[in-house]
A and B are shown apart, each in its own frame.
Chain A
Amino acid sequence: MSNLIHLRTPLTDNDVVNLRIGDRVLVSGIIYTARDAAHKRLVELIDAGKELPFDILDQIIYYVGPSPARPGRPIGSCGPTTSYRMDVYTPKLLAKGLKATIGKGNRSEAVIEALKQHKAIYFAATGGAAALLANAVKKAEIVAYEDLGAEAIMRLEVEDFPVVVANDIYGNDLFREGVAKYERK
């Protein structure tokens, strides 16, 4: 049965060892946004041995491209985008100390292996629950790549941002195990 756990960023090893697939987690603190184009740039910096525009050690990256914010609101609707497009970049970021990612949909074998190796978590947020998730965002500011528009890297201050553990540090995969459990042959 799934537990409800409150976590505050930055995450520690102590936080992640206790997480198991299916656990519901409410995340508070700072998370960073990045999707396709920003990932490409981050990994190019890593490959060139250069510094990243923010310190990713023990941080969380959220895969999102929000809709425009209405005046007076920190952010527009901001549900997760599909994670597999980031699979090719994720292991390199995990090797740099990134502790978790948030997105929707399943990850590749290589990412699941890297999560195990670097003791990191993949959280699933509900795709399409974009207004609900926007309500958990209290502040948003661009930290890099403003030229990318909706794909710029933002620093979000979140409170009780709802996610579920989809891949834990033990190699478990909720997408595989959950589906196997409810499949009828």
Chain B
Amino acid sequence: MATPTRISASEITEKVSHLCMDANFNLNEDVLDALRDSYEEEGSPVAKEVFAELLENAKIARECQMPMCQDTGVAVVFVEIGENIEIVGGRLYDAINEGVREGYKKGFLRKSMVKDPLNRINTGDNTPAIIHTEFTSENYLKITFMAKGGGCENMSRLAMLTPADGKAGVINFVVETVKIARANPCPPIIVGVGIGGTFDYAALLAKKSLLRPLGTKHADPDTADLEKEMLERINNSGIGAQGLGGWITAMAVHVERYPCHIASLPVAVNIECHAHRVKTVVLGNFQ
């Protein structure tokens, strides 16, 4: 066994704290590009004005280092950890949660987590983060932070379709989900779709699909075609930016597929608002 690569818990905390603020203040270039393209393409004057406001908003948020949206989200954290990585001076999940605690305090971000879904007492520091971990053979620790807003998360849906429902059934469910959501998830949206796996895994696939940069094509041509068809059907709805009517309801549809049981066809739709806040850091030995 090779000598482990050591990463300190305090470094993880510091990086996560920074990611929380960076994600909420500085919209990524791929999202800005998508908003600029949408501004050019949109036919409705009211919706066009919404795109202009969103671009101006992103600029102000960056310049003033203030959150682009007051709902600074649930902290969703994706971890890829090399099997040869050793965390020293603390535990990985504790270090991540400490980073969220620190970032939300220092960045004047809103704390939106409650201790219990029924008793509804705020935890006061936006923890716990929702953490998904994957082991890899790489020699690094990759942490991707996503600030996920409540409005769009609430409009997400999952169905256990039958194999006979097939592709048409999946597309109809995705389009129907967006139509039910209407203005509520803050369109223009990004639609994450997970097809296959199990009940729980489909939802994770849907969320993970959102991490792919906007404007990139899926590596699998069949899935890329499926994304294109779904996007067209969604944008035929006329819902438009903020639900005020327009040609662009979604800026992208991302699909991930996975093997599943012979009896099952799970499909999960995770809706993301235009304030698509994702930032990544890589720690350890890497090229």
| A residues with CB within 8 A of B | 1-2, 22, 24, 64-70, 76-79, 81-82, 84, 104-106, 124, 126-132, 134-135, 149-150, 162, 164, 166, 174-175, 177-185
Contact = CB atoms under 8 A, between A and B. Distances in A.
A175 B66 contact: no
B38 to A, nearest CB: 13
B56 A104 contact: no
A81 B185 CA distance: 10
A166 B54 CA distance: 19
Given A105-B182, A106-B183, A131-B64, A67 B108 contact: yes
Contacts of B236: 183-185
A79 B244 contact: no
A179 B69 contact: no
A175 B183 contact: yes
A126 B67 contact: no
Interface in B208-246: 236-240, 242-246
B186 interface: yes
Interface stretch (B40-48, B131-139, B263-271): B40-48
Contacts of A175: 182-183, 243-245
Contacts of B109: 67-68
Most buried by B among A24, A64, A67, A69: A67
B72 interface: yes
B19 to A, nearest CB: 17
A84 B155 CA distance: 13
A76 B183 contact: no
A128 B275 contact: yes
Contacts of B76: none
Given A77-B67, A105-B243, A128-B273, A135 B50 contact: no
B57 interface: yes
A106 B239 CA distance: 11
B69 A79 contact: yes
A180 B186 contact: no
B53 A162 contact: yes
A174 B53 contact: no
B275 to A, nearest CB: 5
A1 B48 CA distance: 13
Contacts of A104: 183, 186, 242
Contacts of A76: 66-67, 70, 108, 110
B70 A178 contact: no
A96 to B, nearest CB: 27
Contacts of A66: 70, 110
Contact of B46 (A68, A150, A174, A180): A174
Contact of B273 (A68, A69, A127, A181): A127
Contact of A67 (B70, B151, B240): B70
Contacts of B50: 126
A169 to B, nearest CB: 19
A166 B186 CA distance: 15
Contact of B67 (A130, A180, A185): A130
Interface in B69-88: 69-72
B27 to A, nearest CB: 10
Interface in B103-145: 108-110, 122
A24 B66 CA distance: 26
A182 B43 contact: yes
Nearest to B241: A126
Nearest to A166: B244
13 contacts: A64-B70, A77-B66, A126-B54, A127-B69, A128-B57, A130-B57, A131-B68, A135-B60, A164-B46, A182-B247, A183-B238, A184-B236, A185-B236
